[in-house]
Structure 1
Amino acid sequence: MSLDATRLYLRLAAASLRAQMQYRASFVMWSVGQFITVGIELLGAWALFDRFGAVRGWRFAEVALLFGLVNVSFALAESFGRGFDTFSAMVKSGDFDRLLLRPRSTAFQVATGEFQFLRAGRLAVGLVMLLWAGSALSVGWTAAKLALLAGAIVGGACVFYGLLVLQATLCFWTVESLEIMNALTYGGTEAAQYPLTLYRDWFRRFFTFVVPLAFVSYIPAGALLDRPTVPALPEAARWASPLVGVAFLLVSLRIWRFGERRYQSTGS
C-alpha cells in the first residue's frame, strides 16, 4: 500500500471512529455487552481448568495467553475488515459495479467502506488476559519475546482478515456469503483459544498447514513458553510464525483479484 493510500485509509478509519462515537451510550453498551459475552466464554474455560487443574499439560494461565492472543487478533480483524464481512450485500445490490469504475483498487474500497469499532469489548477482554497471563506465567520476558508477542497479534489479525477476504471472494461466484466460512472465522476463533493437542490429528494439520490458525496463538505461545508445539516445524519457524499471517493475507488478496476478474454483474 502506497503512502498516499495509507494516509487515506487512516483518515477514513478516524472519520468512521468519530461517527460511531457520536452515540457514545450506544457505543459503550455494545462494547460492554460484547465484553460480557466474551467474558462468559472465558469463565467456561476457567471452570474446566478449575475442575481438572490441567488439560494435556496446559494450565489455565497458559490457555489465557492463547485466549488473549486470539481475541485481540480477531477484534482487530473484525474492526478493520467489516467491509469484507458485509460484502455480499454490495454484490446483491449491484453497488460493486460502481467500485470497478473508480481509480482505487476494489479491495481498498471495500476495506474502507465500513469499519466496526464496536469490537472494543472483545479487544478489552483479550488485552486483560494477555496482561494477566504475562504476569502469572514465568515467561522471562526479553525484547525478542515482546517482539514475538506483538508480531503474533499482527500476524493473527492478518490471518483472520485474510479469512474475511476469502469469505467475500466467494460472493463473486455465489453472490451470498457461504455460512461455512463462519466455521473458519468464528469457529476458528473458538478452536484457536485452546491448545491444538486437544484435537484430532487431521484437525491439527488442517489448522496448521491449510488455514494457519495455529500460527495465531498455539505456535507463538509455545515459543514464548519454551514448550514444544508442532514437532514438524523447526525452532526458527516458530519464531517466524507472524510472517505466516502476513503471507496468508497476501495470498488471500491475490485470490480476491482472481475472483474479481471473473465477476459478472448481477444486473440489478
Structure 2
Amino acid sequence: MLYLKFLAMHIKVQLQNRKSFIIMTIGQALMAFTGVFVVLVIMDPQQVVMGFNRHEVLVGAAVVMVSFSLAECFGRGFDTFPVLLSNGQFDRFMLRPQNIIYQIFTSTMDFTRLGRVLVALIVLFTSLQQVEISSYWLLISMIVSGMIVFVCLFIIYGALCFFTTESLEFMNILTDGAREFGKVPFSFYGKRILNFLTYVVPLACFQYYPMLVLLGKEGSSIYAYYPMFALVFILPSYGIWKVGIKHYRSTGS
C-alpha cells in the first residue's frame, strides 16, 4: 500500500537524528503532562463537579488528547499548508494524478506527537482502573471519531488559507484550543458553548455525550451513537475544501 510506504519513509527520515527525535518526543510528552497536571491540581480525588469526579474528567481529557495528537501526527501537512501556497509548491500537488488531500496528508508527518499520545494513554488506562465503563468499543469509537473531527478541522483550516494565503490563528481556537478546553467535559462551559460544540463543530459528539453512556451517567442511550453523527462533519469540511480549490490561483498565473 502506497500510504504505508510514505509512512515508513517519514519514520526513517525522522529517525536519522535519533537524539533530536527522542528529545522532541519527550518535550511533547512533558507538554501533555502539564495539561493533565492542571486537572490533578484543581480537583481533589473525591471532588465531584457537575456530576464528574476527577478520574472521570481525566477519561474525557485523555480521549481528546489522544484524538488531537493522532490527528496532528498524521495531518501535519495541513498545519504547514500556508507555506505550500506561498512558495508555489502546491502547484506540484495540482499536477499529480493522486488525490490532493491524500498528497498533503502524506507530505508531512510528525511522529514526535506520539509522546503526547503515550502520556494520554497512560492517563486513560490509569483512570479506567478507578471507574467502570460500559464498553471499550465505545471508547475506541470516541477516539477514532475525535481524530476524524480534528482532521476535518485541519482541512477547513487549509481551505480557508486559499482565501488568505496566510495562517489563520483563529482556527487554533477550534484545534489547539479544543485540546485545552477538552481537559474537562464540554458541558462545564455552559449550554451555549455545548450547543455550538454539538451542532456547529461536533467536538462534544465524541467527548461529552458518549462519555455519559460510557461512564453510566444519566442520559439517552442514543448518545452512544453520537461519535458516528460526528462523522457527518466530513461532508461540510470537504465542501469547504472544494470551494477553496476553485478559488485557488496558481503562483504562475
Bucket of the pairwise TM-score, normalised by the shorter protein = over 0.9
User: Does the 8 A contact of 1:87 with 1:168 survive in 2?
Assistant: yes
User: Does the 8 A contact of 2:149 with 2:234 survive in 1?
Assistant: yes
Aligned-pair distance for 1:250?
4.0
- Which residue is 2:221 aligned to? 235
The TM-score normalised by the length of structure 2 is: 0.94
Aligned-pair distance for 1:201?
1.9
- Which residue is 1:155 aligned to? 145
C-alpha separation in 2, matches of 1:129 and 1:219: 20
Q: Structure 1 stretches of 5 or more lacking a match?
A: 1-6
**Alpha carbon RMSD of aligned pairs, Å?**
1.7
Moved more, 17-26 or 106-115: 17-26
Aligned-pair distance for 1:105?
1.5
The TM-score normalised by the length of structure 1 is: 0.89
Matched, 1:49 2:39: no
Q: 2:103 aligns with which of 90, 100, 109?
A: 109
Matched, 1:220 2:210: yes
Cα deviation, 1:55-87, whole Å, max 9, x if unaligned, reads: 222111001101110111111100110001110
- Identity within the alignment, %: 37
Aligned-pair distance for 1:241?
2.1
- Which residue is 2:190 aligned to? 200
C-alpha separation in 2, matches of 1:85 and 1:244: 25
Aligned-pair distance for 1:30?
0.9
Cα deviation, 1:82-118, whole Å, max 9, x if unaligned, reads: 0011100000011111211110111111111101111
Matched, 1:167 2:157: yes
**Relative to 1, partners in 2 of residues 1:197 and 1:242: Cα closer, same or farther, differing over 3 Å?**
closer
Number of aligned residue pairs = 253
Aligned-pair distance for 1:34?
1.4
User: Does the 8 A contact of 2:78 with 2:104 survive in 1?
Assistant: yes
Structure 1: 4+ residue segments shifted above 3 A:
none
Amino acid of the structure 1 residue aligned with 2:82? S
User: Does the 8 A contact of 1:207 with 1:214 survive in 2?
Assistant: yes
Amino acid of the structure 2 residue aligned with 1:247? V
C-alpha separation in 2, matches of 1:196 and 1:246: 18
C-alpha separation in 1, matches of 2:4 and 2:218: 39
Q: Structure 2 stretches of 5 or more lacking a match?
A: none
Aligned-pair distance for 1:255?
2.0
C-alpha separation in 1, matches of 2:92 and 2:131: 52
